[in-house]
Amino acid sequence: MKLFGSSGIRGITNKEVTTDLALKVGLALGKTKRSAVVGRDPRIAGEMIEHAIISGLLSAGCDVVRIGMVSTPTLAYATKDYDCGVMITASHNPAEYVGIKLWNPDGMAFDSSQQEEIEDCIEKEDFEPVSWDKIGNVSEDANAIRQHTNMILQNVKRSSKRVIIDCGCGAGSTITPYVLRKMGCEVITLNSQPDGYFPARNPEPNDANLTLLKTAVKEFGADIGIAQDGDADRMMAIDEKGEFITGDEMLALFARHECNEGAKIVVPVDTSMMVDDALPGSTVIRTRVGDVYVAEEIKRCNADIGGEPSGSWIFPKISYCPDGIFASAKIMELIESRTLSELKEELPHYPTYRGTVKCDNERKAHVMEVVHSKLEKCGNISDIDGIRVEMDNGWVLVRPSGTEPKIRITVEAREGADRLFSMAENIIKEALN
């Protein structure tokens, strides 16, 4: 039974994610954990799911500490004092979704083997409710946000810039504006009152969803606009001209700012070589797409920084959990002496092509075999996630979509990107004939 995706359990409230399921997750988790810290984002279903999972944990004899409505990185940071952490969130998904994500004390999300253990236990209904005198205690701790805030403030420099923060009515509203003010910033808030209906915008902080923030940055003459997703593990930025900074640019900027020459940087396979070229002498390690895989690889190879262009930035010196609040504070350091648009201009930009070819799910495996045999003649090939071939001038990535009958092609090259794209497209089309 597959309950967990790469981002934990997530689905439509009361259809895919129910109180019954949450109760079982609590019972399964409580089998091996003696203490758990539980938090939630502002989603309407948050408290309902929280009560169910806590009942399961208590019934299994696990002590529970509730920290209320918090961001995911706040919960992950608080987990250092417990056996595990439970976050009720559906991250950047729309309001009707809810989810459960489990955390280890070092800020790392549960890995696939830990998730399988829980799935197994739920499938076999292998629960052990304890006797009446062994059930867990539940208590509340109101200090989690303050402790997370203090940790961030100890690790960033002061700033007096003018910033507009758009928390998207998500969990970041409980912490980010306060952190930025304590740093000395002039803070203007936008959509920074928690509201589980997410009335202002879709919680995903992508270019298309941030129209209001772009306008506000220009209208108020701000130095920067910052946007977060529903649980504030992701953040993206708008420069002082109202232009969106892409995920690749964000990664390159953070790597330049945070790391020295020779640094190890971990990114997913679809990341631009802008990141490779941003920092001379650095080693860029590529993983499967998903912030969990990036975090695992950062830990495994003791990397200096990593992230995913969708907005997850991981600073391993503070946590393996992507932290959209810490990243918001850090980006203020970046723009202390240069504007964000200047910093962006200085990055190497290469022509990039993205496209898809229709392909029935049943034929994907065959097509990918053909793609592998043709592309391996072109350069250094890797099959970590789809097929990626690296050439002197650039790279080609061919990945079957996990959810749609499509194969995606991404190409980036110093020159001839259009030719490489046609080549990949033709290989797929011929394989389909």
Among the candidate windows 86-94, 185-193, 383-391, 416-424, which touches Mg ion by CB under 5 A? 86-94
User: Under the criterion CB under 5 A, does residue 291 sit at the interface with Mg ion?
Assistant: no
Shortest CB 231 distance to Mg ion, Å: 4
* Residue number with CB closer to Mg ion (170 or 386): 170
Contact (CB, 8 A) for 361 and 368: no
Among the candidate windows 15-23, 46-54, 131-139, 223-231, which touches Mg ion by CB under 5 A? 223-231
Contact (CB, 8 A) for 427 and 374: yes
Number of residues binding to Mg ion, judged by CB under 5 A: 5
Cα Rg of the chain (Å, integer): 22
Residues forming a β-bridge with 162? 186
In this chain, which of 63, 204, 231, 239 binds Mg ion, going by CB under 5 A? 231
CA 131 to chain centroid: 40
What gap in Å lies between CA 26 and CA 58, rounded to an integer?
8
User: Under the criterion CB under 5 A, does residue 204 sit at the interface with Mg ion?
Assistant: no
* Residue number with CB closer to Mg ion (49 or 367): 49
What gap in Å lies between CA 429 and CA 427, rounded to an integer?
6
* Residue number with CB closer to Mg ion (30 or 194): 194
* Residue number with CB closer to Mg ion (59 or 312): 312
Phi-psi label, residue 83: left if phi above 0, alpha if psi -120 to 50, beta otherwise:
alpha
Shortest CB 318 distance to Mg ion, Å: 17
Give the position of tokens 């629960």: 127
Shortest CB 158 distance to Mg ion, Å: 28
Among the candidate windows 38-46, 84-92, 119-127, 405-413, which touches Mg ion by CB under 5 A? 84-92
Sequence-ordered alpha helix ranges (H) in 31-165 = 46-59, 72-78, 112-123, 144-154
Catalytic one among 71, 91, 159, 319? 91
Say how many residues make up the chain: 433
Residue nearest to Mg ion (CB): 91
Contact (CB, 8 A) for 222 and 230: no
DSSP-derived secondary structure letter, 304: S
Burial zone of 199 (CB within 10 Å; 0-12 exposed, 13-18 middle, 19+ buried) = exposed
* Residue number with CB closer to Mg ion (63 or 229): 229
In this chain, which of 229, 249, 270, 323 binds Mg ion, going by CB under 5 A? 229
* Residue number with CB closer to Mg ion (64 or 235): 235
What gap in Å lies between CA 304 and CA 266, rounded to an integer?
8
In this chain, which of 55, 79, 91, 287 binds Mg ion, going by CB under 5 A? 91
* Residue number with CB closer to Mg ion (42 or 386): 42
Q: Tokens for 37?
A: 């810290």
Site pattern 233..262 for Mg ion (x: CB under 5 A): xx----------------------------
Contact (CB, 8 A) for 72 and 143: no
Among the candidate windows 169-177, 224-232, 240-248, 390-398, which touches Mg ion by CB under 5 A? 224-232
User: Under the criterion CB under 5 A, does residue 323 sit at the interface with Mg ion?
Assistant: no
Shortest CB 11 distance to Mg ion, Å: 15
What gap in Å lies between CA 81 and CA 93, rounded to an integer?
29
* Whether 91 is catalytic: yes
Shortest CB 266 distance to Mg ion, Å: 18
Question: Among 234, 193, 190, which Cα is nearest to 215's?
Answer: 190
Where do contacts with Mg ion occur on this chain (CB under 5 A)? 91, 229, 231, 233-234
Catalytic residues: 91
